[in-house]
Amino acid sequence: MERILVADDDALVCWSLHQALIREGYEVQLASSGDEALDKVKATNFNLIITDLVMPGLSGIELIRRIKEAFPEIGVGVITGHGSRDVEREVREKGVIFYIEKPFQIEEIKQIVKMILRCAS
């Protein structure tokens, strides 16, 4: 079973993604900060991480950098309410495989996740 970590300080976003992704058959864990997400990545083998960019403590950009340095095989996607073309370019240069600005459609996330995990297996 594929494991996904959702890191976002917005509880509604976390809950919505958790509900949608577990219905698709994924194991989903949540983190409300970059620091919590990094701790979970170190403790669990995830197939995909979906992170916000602006969170308490460790920023999403720093989280991405650290994950890609230590665990380059883990796919990372971004959902953000603080996006721009420059931010998108920066995170894509760090190896992010998808970038979506909030508000997003749950169906869009589900389709992207399915495609990414299917291609990775």
Starting from the edge strand earliest in sequence, which strands make up the sheet with 48-51, in order? 27-31, 3-7, 48-51, 75-80, 98-101
The pLDDT tens digits for 16-61 are 999 999 999 999 999 999 999 999 999 999 999 999 999 999 999 9
Query: Nearest Cα to 53, choosing from 12, 11, 102?
Result: 102
Distance CA 76, CA 3 (A): 12
pTM of the model: 0.95
Domain 3-120 has CATH 3.40.50.2300: yes
DSSP tag of 32: S
Residues 6+ apart with CB under 8 A from 111: none
